[in-house]
Amino acid sequence: MTTSDDTGTNFTSFESMGNAIRYAAQFSDVISCSWGGIGSSSSFIDSAIDYATISARNGKGCAVFFASGNNASHWAAHQDRLPLTVGPGTYKFGFYFETSGSHSCVQEYCENLVIDQVRLLNQTGYDRVWWEDFEGGGPGWTVAHGGGATSDWALNTQPNLLLTGVGSTQGYRPPPLILAGQPGQWAELRSPPLSLSGNYILAFAKLMDFSTVGAQFQIKLLDANDNLLSVLTNIPLGWGTGSVGAGYISYPASYVNSVAVGACTDFDRRADYSQYGPQLFCVGPSNGGWNGVASTDTTGAAGWNSGDWENGDYYMGFGGTSSATPLVAGVANLILSKNANLTFSQIKDSLRLGCDKIGPRPYDPTTGRNDEYGYGRVNAYASITNAAADTTAPTVTSVVTKWGRGVEVTFSEQMGDGVTTPANYTISGTGKGTLGANPATVSWVSGYKYLLEWSAGEMIAGTGNITITVNTQVKDIAGNALASPSSWTANGSRVVHQISCGANYGQIYPFESERYWSGGVGNPYFNTVNSIIDNDGTPVAVYGTERCVLTAPTYSWDIFYVLPGISTGLNYTVRLYFFDNGYSVHPGDVQFDVYINNVLKLANFDLIAASGGPYIGFWREFPNITALSGNITVRIVPKQTWNQTWSAYYCNATICGIEVTAQ
Ligand SMILES: [Ca+2]
Ligand SMILES: [Ca+2]
Ligand SMILES: [Ca+2]
């Protein structure tokens, strides 16, 4: 997320993040955030989460999920995955550790390196070809040393150095060579010989906690006689992988109205990295055990999977609490697919009651939770099963005419099947005019509101004279068919086009987003409008956005609109909206011609003379326009004039809005 007030650091400003949450809450039932750990709390973010979880969804509240964070231990959240290609033969893997000799630490094991869960995956990066968890001691593995070293890698059983996410009791660890204070001491752990051919991925879990730079941790490919074939990776020591035991929930997951989600593994244990604490709600399946999470990837060579061997559109090594969080958010969406009327609190109840009590830690008998697992591991089936069913039939709650070919229909709740099918909507009443019985399109606006649009015809002006009837093929998201009231009556309108020119901010109701245009530039700024002459109720934002040619040294292009769907045999009034944005300020600076249907309507039109100054909105109206090949065209032609503001000859032109009304 990048915005204009981006501070240039990893994250944009707290204010922008808060605004993004508020924006998402206008359109979403569930918000999943895999970011966090941004330090101090922010009132911008807190208040945005409050808004989303309390006020959004018509007061039902969005469910807002945040990842708890990945720094609970030195075991890396994202484990190493080393690709290799070998011809037919017998191979070993060597885990090589060499001292720098520069270390001054005298405490044994003051530096820690442990490996566990070593596995060779097929080239998809998912299926195990061979593996070792050292729980049986690691039969077939051998050790070697040199450079003055006298000891080898050995089994490690210290509780603080075991990989939590797999129920591990043993890992493998190099000796404290560094205590000798001499460079070049080494010890190597070698896998059993493996018969291999083709493409593989070597994966393993590692714990690294070193401060010394210059020592080495290498993973080598060896032949059957322990000869070096290649170094698969070389990790200079000094690369810590996080702060030990960050036994807290990162912010904003820790905020009182967030749902904090941690990660568990395919052993049903808390992933070693998964941050925990009293605010943790639950855990969701992720990596940290044997396998990662399969995910889509940026297509082709871009992204995490470059597609060396396989289709690069997928990635098998996703993980972290960033992976667990959208999974739990997805379960919340499944719950809402059963009953979209559930509140945020009820969604949490369904998730909580569905959780499986996994792991070795006891759960509080009263609250049903502990700090490492929250209420337990999410269970989609159990959560959906315990959610109350929606048995309420939806109804139509309002119909509002937006323009002569657009009507908004609002329902009582979140809708599902049939709601965007035009044949399920019928317009009737004397105000219907020449509109067809069914709209051409039905599109979602926001919440429970849908927009019906016709592509041709006109309503006849009147009061309370159109009726929209919706049939029972329209259902709520749980499948309940529409019930009474299923129709509603509203005023008619004769407006067939209302277009906000250069509208870069989306639709400005009831004006359409800009369409049917060519030429000119959509001004990306929202101009301040000081006043409007003969205000007809058009939104100020329509004047504040424009399609323009600004101080062009020579004539470059016309601004041209071709408005379709104009009926023959009717007269139309075309109203054009204008505004000077203050870039030029003197009468005479901005002049252009206006043609409608190729007829010159305004010659050398002096924008600033017409308005009396900059920042003033106004309009001009042209009646008795008829269809030209089914269209009405509006052409704005910039004229070169002496620009007093900028002291040069420039071409300028601008238009803010177009309204076409059947007379
Ligand atoms: Ca183990
Ligand atoms: Ca890719
Ligand atoms: Ca319902």
Predicted pLDDT of residue 211: 57
Task: Return the CATH number at 410.
Answer: 2.60.40.1220
Ligand 2 centre distance from Cα of residue 310 (Å): 10
Residue pair 590/608 in contact by the 8 Å Cβ criterion: yes
Ligand 3 centre distance from Cα of residue 390 (Å): 5
Ligand 2 centre distance from Cα of residue 318 (Å): 13
pLDDT, tens digit (0-9, with 9 covering 90-100), for 184-216: 889 999 999 999 999 999 999 988 776 555 678
Domain that holds residue 286: 14-72+245-386
Residues 134 and 192 in one domain: yes
> 526-529, long-range: CB within 8 Å, 24+ apart, which pairs?
527/579, 527/581, 527/582, 527/615, 528/615, 529/579, 529/615, 529/616, 529/617
Residues 54 and 113 in one domain: no
Ligand 3 centre distance from Cα of residue 345 (Å): 18
> Alpha-carbon distance 92 to 84, whole Å?
12
Ligand 1 centre distance from Cα of residue 656 (Å): 68
Ligand 2 centre distance from Cα of residue 193 (Å): 33
Closest ligand to Cα 482? 3
Ligand 1 centre distance from Cα of residue 558 (Å): 72
Ligand 3 centre distance from Cα of residue 522 (Å): 43
Predicted pLDDT of residue 108: 46
As a whole number of Å, the end-to-end CA separation of the chain is 48
Ligand 1 centre distance from Cα of residue 328 (Å): 28
Q: Strand pairing of 591-596 and 599-606? A: antiparallel
- The answer to the question of residue 362 being in a domain is yes
Neighbouring residues of 225: CB distance < 8 A, sequence distance ≥ 6 = none
Ligand 2 centre distance from Cα of residue 296 (Å): 8
Separation in Å, CA 329 to CA 23, 153, 260, 289, 346: 18, 43, 11, 22, 14
Closest ligand to Cα 340? 3
Residues 378 and 404 in one domain: no
Ligand 2 centre distance from Cα of residue 295 (Å): 11
Task: Return the CATH number at 509.
Answer: 2.60.120
Residue pair 547/559 in contact by the 8 Å Cβ criterion: yes
Ligand 1 centre distance from Cα of residue 189 (Å): 15
- The answer to the question of residue 551 being in a domain is yes
Ligand 1 centre distance from Cα of residue 373 (Å): 21
- The answer to the question of residue 582 being in a domain is yes
Ligand 1 centre distance from Cα of residue 176 (Å): 20
Q: Strand pairing of 632-643 and 648-655? A: antiparallel
Residue 76's nearest CA partner among 218, 253, 209, 207 is 207
Ligand 2 centre distance from Cα of residue 321 (Å): 22
Quick one: angle between helices 344-354 and 321-338, nearest 10? Answer: 110
Ligand 1 centre distance from Cα of residue 198 (Å): 28
Ligand 3 centre distance from Cα of residue 416 (Å): 10
Ligand 2 centre distance from Cα of residue 320 (Å): 19
Separation in Å, CA 477 to CA 26, 335, 339, 343, 383: 19, 11, 7, 15, 18
- The answer to the question of residue 145 being in a domain is yes
Residues 551 and 462 in one domain: no
Ligand 1 centre distance from Cα of residue 227 (Å): 27
> Alpha-carbon distance 445 to 395, whole Å?
17
Ligand 1 centre distance from Cα of residue 156 (Å): 9
Ligand 1 centre distance from Cα of residue 93 (Å): 17
Q: Domain boundary residue among 467, 493, 519?
A: 493
Count CB neighbours of 594 within 10 A: 22
Predicted pLDDT of residue 572: 94
Ligand 2 centre distance from Cα of residue 299 (Å): 4
Residues 637 and 622 in one domain: yes
Ligand 2 centre distance from Cα of residue 518 (Å): 36
SS3 334: helix
Quick one: tokens of 465?
């004279």
Ligand 3 centre distance from Cα of residue 409 (Å): 17
Residues 342 and 371 in one domain: yes
In three-state form (DSSP H/G/I as H, E/B as E, the rest C), the secondary structure along 445-478 is: EECCEEEEECCCCCCCCCCCCEEEEECCCCEECC
Count CB neighbours of 70 within 10 A: 28
Q: What residues are paired with 481 via a beta bridge?
A: 475
Ligand 3 centre distance from Cα of residue 385 (Å): 17
Ligand 2 centre distance from Cα of residue 268 (Å): 29
Ligand 3 centre distance from Cα of residue 355 (Å): 26
- The answer to the question of residue 240 being in a domain is no
pLDDT, tens digit (0-9, with 9 covering 90-100), for 245-282: 566 899 999 999 999 999 999 999 999 999 999 999 99
- The answer to the question of residue 3 being in a domain is no
Residues 223 and 275 in one domain: no
Ligand 1 centre distance from Cα of residue 413 (Å): 52
CA dihedral 580, 583, 586, 592 (to 10 degrees): -60
Q: Domain boundary residue among 386, 406, 426?
A: 386
CA-angle at 39, arms to 38 and 41, nearest 5°: 95
Closest ligand to Cα 393? 3
Q: Domain boundary residue among 235, 259, 274?
A: 235
Domain count, the chain: 4
Neighbouring residues of 621: CB distance < 8 A, sequence distance ≥ 6 = 573, 574, 575, 576
Ligand 3 centre distance from Cα of residue 412 (Å): 8
Walking along the chain (663 residues) 10 residues at a time, the average pLDDT comes out as 52 85 93 88 95 95 96 76 94 91 54 88 90 94 92 91 90 75 85 97 85 76 97 72 65 97 96 94 95 91 83 88 97 95 97 97 97 98 96 95 90 95 95 92 92 88 79 95 94 88 75 83 81 94 92 90 90 96 95 97 97 96 95 96 94 95 88
Amino acid letter, residue 196: L
- The answer to the question of residue 8 being in a domain is no
Residues 518 and 647 in one domain: yes
Ligand 1 centre distance from Cα of residue 287 (Å): 15
Ligand 1 centre distance from Cα of residue 268 (Å): 15
Quick one: tokens of 308?
């060396």
Ligand 3 centre distance from Cα of residue 638 (Å): 56
Ligand 1 centre distance from Cα of residue 139 (Å): 13
Residues 518 and 657 in one domain: yes
Ligand 3 centre distance from Cα of residue 393 (Å): 5
Ligand 2 centre distance from Cα of residue 311 (Å): 8
**Helices first, then strands: H and E counts in the chain:** 7, 36
Range list of β-strands (E), 99-215: 112-122, 128-132, 142-146, 154-156, 171-173, 186-190, 194-209
Residues 648 and 568 in one domain: yes
Residues 197 and 218 in one domain: yes
Predicted pLDDT of residue 526: 78
Residues 537 and 657 in one domain: yes
Closest ligand to Cα 308? 2
Residue pair 415/474 in contact by the 8 Å Cβ criterion: yes
Ligand 2 centre distance from Cα of residue 313 (Å): 5
- The answer to the question of residue 486 being in a domain is yes
Ligand 2 centre distance from Cα of residue 81 (Å): 16
